[in-house]
A and B are shown apart, each in its own frame.
Chain A
Amino acid sequence: MMVRWIAGGRVIDPDQDVDRLADLELADGKVVGLHPVGTAPSQEDTLDASGRWVMPGMIDIHVHFREPGQEYKEDLLTGARAAVAGGVTTVVCMPNTMPAIDKREVVGLLRRRAAQIGLCDVQVCGAISRGLKGEELADLGEMALAGAACFSDDGHAVMNAGLLRRAFEYASDLDLMLMLHEEEMDLSNGGSMHEGAVSSRAGLRGIPSASESALIARDLEIAHEFGGRMHVCHMSTKRGVELVRAAKARGWPISAEVTPHHLFLTDLAVLESHYHGHTKMNPPLRPWEHVEALREGLKDGTIEAIATDHAPHGDVEKDEAFGCCAFGVTGLETSFSLTRRLVDEGVISLSRAVELHTSGPAKVMNWNDRGTFRAGTRADVCIFDPERVWIVDPSVGFSKSVNTPFTGWELKGQVSTTVFGGRVVYHEGKPAA
């Protein structure tokens, strides 16, 4: 169903500094503008949003939809359903699929498949290196022509500094940024959780904080000297935040994202869960001082986006002992409800919370056609019921996988309706495809 008006809701659009009751007018898949409440005619294509928050469709710049090759974990359809259930209308898919997204054919295939499904905008992040091997450049230029939005070897760090230099140089010709998974592999050394008091108590090999911050420091230097836009994926450490903050203060073109799980859970979850695989992710959960630093980074603008790193895995990967099970957790369906909790905890304002899911990530990606209700932008809308209390239960979710660490959490507020390009793609528990 196409929507013409969204009436009577509390419209929150941080990009325009708007937070007021208003009627939102859409036409031809685009935003027309905001009007005083009562302007909207009562007709079939008017959605009543009274008592709801009306926000630009959310943007999640870091997800793994597992297509092609691992469709038993997730595919474009189930991933898109999970996205719209979380109010997300644009995702950026990481290239660590099987085969990796390192050629224009794969980029084109995914873009076409996603368009057929039509639930949300699936943007594709191409690989930096062929086969994500970190040895030679992938087909960056051809992938860009096929519509790749950015480049990353996510899941792996680019350990070869010379290759990274060339990738920065080459990608800046294409005006696309590199999204970097920052992990010094020799420091991680096969670890499976954060290295510190908890790993010592748990008897697990650790991944030290310096594994992340050392590579951020190196890559900042490379990006600075050779030019290029650098984005830090799933930042998890206090030192990482400090390094990014300092680089920004010098005016360097750098951005960063953080995941919901790094904002709410600590490494203690590994012991608390008795070594449950749903507490294993990369980067790992860190102690509270890091969580606090990340939250501080949200507040002061060091981090501009919350991105889930939605990483579905099946039992084949997760029903294993902690040391050998796969890294990663899902997150699309709980993402904004968790961020809202940060507002209730007094960490950030509601406007900032919305910004971190809308205009924040849009700016990271250099997109000006979404993440806002400015006239002429795509009619992507997330309608959120702020009073609805729900319990996270992945068995009734839309992702094919159940590996969320937030099972059983009572969250306040849930997405009720998602509109993508003017069309209702999700309404009260039902995706349109």
Chain B
Amino acid sequence: MKPVAGLGQLKSLDDLTNRSGWPHSLFSTDGLPRAAALDIIDTAREMVGVGRRRVKKLPTLRGRTVINAFFENSTRTRVSFELAGKRMGADVINFSASASSGAKGETLGDTARTLAAMNPDLIVIRHPDGGAPWFLRERVGCAVINAGDGINEHPTQALLDALTLMEQLGDLEGRTVAIVGDVAHSRVARSNIHLLHTLGANVVCVSPSTMRPAQMDLALKAQWTDDLDALLPRCDAVMMLRIQRERLRESLFPHNREFAIRFGLNPRRADLLPSHGIILHPGPMNRGVEIEPAVADGDRAMILSQVENGVAVRMALQLMLLGRSES
């Protein structure tokens, strides 16, 4: 393993520039240039059209190999990437493994080198630890897409959310988006905060203090409140995060009912939104906890569009990362 050289130059978070990995990879939306984000979203719009055709397959990535390396279970995300790769004509291989080296008997470094030896053109990685996509990219030559790394980022989710928002609201400049739930431990939230800021939106996070990231104003430049009712009338969109049961054990909140009372999106709260206000949820939902069924199934909810847009965004990314490079 190569030591890291020359540390100590970075003096402030403000000096951190593009961490996105774009255009060779996509690790993060942190610093992803606005033009690149809009380019991806525009390409994804075209892919939505392809997905609605009777014949949904493009020949663009024929002969290219995509490995979905999943070190954490996620059927939804894997299926979305798999479908996207196949629609682009790539050979898609799913690889799943345990994240702990103890359990699998080899390190992530070993696994990375094994995958690299198969000469893939792209590896999509889902891993329970933050930073795993950067780690992988250091050890493989090919493009890497982060499909969720621990509590860090989930950039393709943010891009599909942005596409969904823009379909409904148009330009996001000056729009206000609320992100409600366990922001501190949410990769969806972190990627969305970065991308929405890049696209000119205001982001307000809503949670109990137990779910607020440390020094979030400094870290993420986002506002925070625990008063959802007061915020909703000025929101153009509200994103509900999935409440994870394991957080109960960490005492981040007392129980589901109480969370639903303080932060759940019920019909009364949904009515506080302006008439054009929309509701997003990355799924899978806990109906009756962060969102009530009547809201989830109502007209404002964009949940199924998000799923459709997810495939389109992942098609666009694979096209842009692989289609442009030499084959």
A→B interface (CB under 8 Å): 189, 195-206, 208, 264-265, 268-269, 271-279, 315-316, 318-324, 394, 402-409
In the assembly, what is the distance between CA of A189 and CA of B184, in Å? 14
Q: Contact at B7–A279, with CB atoms within 8 Å? A: yes
Q: Contact at A278–B152, with CB atoms within 8 Å? A: no
Q: Contact at B7–A405, with CB atoms within 8 Å? A: yes
Q: Which residues of B contact A268 (CB under 8 A)?
A: 10-13
In the assembly, what is the distance between CA of A395 and CA of B18, in Å? 31
Q: Contact at B7–A316, with CB atoms within 8 Å? A: no
Q: How far is the CB of A153 from chain B (nearest CB, A)?
A: 23
In the assembly, what is the distance between CA of A275 and CA of B130, in Å? 8
In the complex with contacts A315-B107, A319-B1, A202-B131 CB distance below 8 A: yes
Choice from A322, A394, A406 contacting B7 with Cβ under 8 Å: A406
Q: Which residues of B contact A405 (CB under 8 A)?
A: 4, 7
B129 interface contact, C-beta 8 A: yes
Q: In this complex, what residue of A is CB-closest to B110?
A: A319
Over the window 174-195 of chain B, the binary record of Cβ atoms lying under 8 Å from chain A Cβ atoms (1 yes, 0 no) is 0000000000100100100000
In the assembly, what is the distance between CA of A278 and CA of B6, in Å? 12
Q: Which residues of B contact A203 (CB under 8 A)?
A: 130-131, 149-153, 187, 190
Choice from A206, A275, A403, A408 contacting B214 with Cβ under 8 Å: A206
- Name which of B135, B138, B216 has the most chain A CB atoms within 10 A of its CB: B135
In the assembly, what is the distance between CA of A315 and CA of B113, in Å? 13
Q: How far is the CB of B72 from chain A (nearest CB, A)?
A: 11
Q: Which residues of A contact B11 (CB under 8 A)?
A: 268
B97 interface contact, C-beta 8 A: no
Choice from A319, A394, A406 contacting B108 with Cβ under 8 Å: A319
In the assembly, what is the distance between CA of A143 and CA of B30, in Å? 54
Q: Contact at A318–B108, with CB atoms within 8 Å? A: no
Q: Which residues of B contact A402 (CB under 8 A)?
A: 1, 3
Q: How far is the CB of A26 from chain B (nearest CB, A)?
A: 38
Q: How far is the CB of B7 from chain A (nearest CB, A)?
A: 5
**Secondary structure of the A contact surface, majority rule:** loop
B74 interface contact, C-beta 8 A: no
B→A interface (CB under 8 Å): 1, 3-13, 16, 19, 30, 99-101, 107-110, 127-132, 134-135, 138, 149-153, 184, 187, 190, 213-216, 218-220, 250
Q: How far is the CB of A201 from chain B (nearest CB, A)?
A: 4
Q: Contact at A273–B7, with CB atoms within 8 Å? A: yes
In the assembly, what is the distance between CA of A196 and CA of B218, in Å? 9
Q: Contact at A324–B99, with CB atoms within 8 Å? A: yes
Q: Contact at B108–A275, with CB atoms within 8 Å? A: no
In the assembly, what is the distance between CA of A123 and CA of B82, in Å? 58
In the assembly, what is the distance between CA of A208 and CA of B216, in Å? 15
In the complex with contacts A198-B219, A202-B130, A321-B108, A272-B7 CB distance below 8 A: yes
Q: Contact at A196–B215, with CB atoms within 8 Å? A: yes
In the assembly, what is the distance between CA of A206 and CA of B132, in Å? 17
Q: Which residues of A contact B128 (CB under 8 A)?
A: 323
Q: How far is the CB of B185 from chain A (nearest CB, A)?
A: 8
Q: Which residues of B contact A278 (CB under 8 A)?
A: 3-4
Q: Contact at B214–A197, with CB atoms within 8 Å? A: yes
Q: Contact at A275–B134, with CB atoms within 8 Å? A: yes
In the assembly, what is the distance between CA of A143 and CA of B197, in Å? 60
Q: Contact at A204–B3, with CB atoms within 8 Å? A: no
Q: In this complex, what residue of B is CB-closest to A287?
A: B215
Q: Contact at B250–A189, with CB atoms within 8 Å? A: yes
Q: Contact at A200–B213, with CB atoms within 8 Å? A: yes
Q: How far is the CB of A400 from chain B (nearest CB, A)?
A: 13
Q: Contact at A198–B13, with CB atoms within 8 Å? A: yes
Q: A319-B107, A322-B132 are in contact. List 8 more A-B contacts (CB 8 A).
A: A195-B214, A201-B13, A203-B131, A275-B132, A277-B1, A320-B107, A323-B130, A406-B7
- Name which of B3, B19, B132, B216 has the most chain A CB atoms within 10 A of its CB: B3
Q: Contact at A197–B190, with CB atoms within 8 Å? A: no
In the assembly, what is the distance between CA of A301 and CA of B128, in Å? 43
Q: Which residues of A contact B5 (CB under 8 A)?
A: 407-408
Q: In this complex, what residue of A is CB-closest to B102?
A: A324
Q: Which 8 A-B pairs have the closest CB atoms?
A: A203-B152, A275-B131, A408-B5, A319-B109, A323-B129, A200-B219, A321-B129, A200-B213
In the assembly, what is the distance between CA of A197 and CA of B216, in Å? 6
Q: Which residues of A contact B1 (CB under 8 A)?
A: 277, 315, 318-319, 402
Q: Which residues of A contact B12 (CB under 8 A)?
A: 268
In the assembly, what is the distance between CA of A120 and CA of B184, in Å? 48
Q: In this complex, what residue of B is CB-closest to A190?
A: B250
- Name which of B5, B6, B7, B107 has the most chain A CB atoms within 10 A of its CB: B7
Q: How far is the CB of B140 from chain A (nearest CB, A)?
A: 14
In the assembly, what is the distance between CA of A264 and CA of B8, in Å? 8
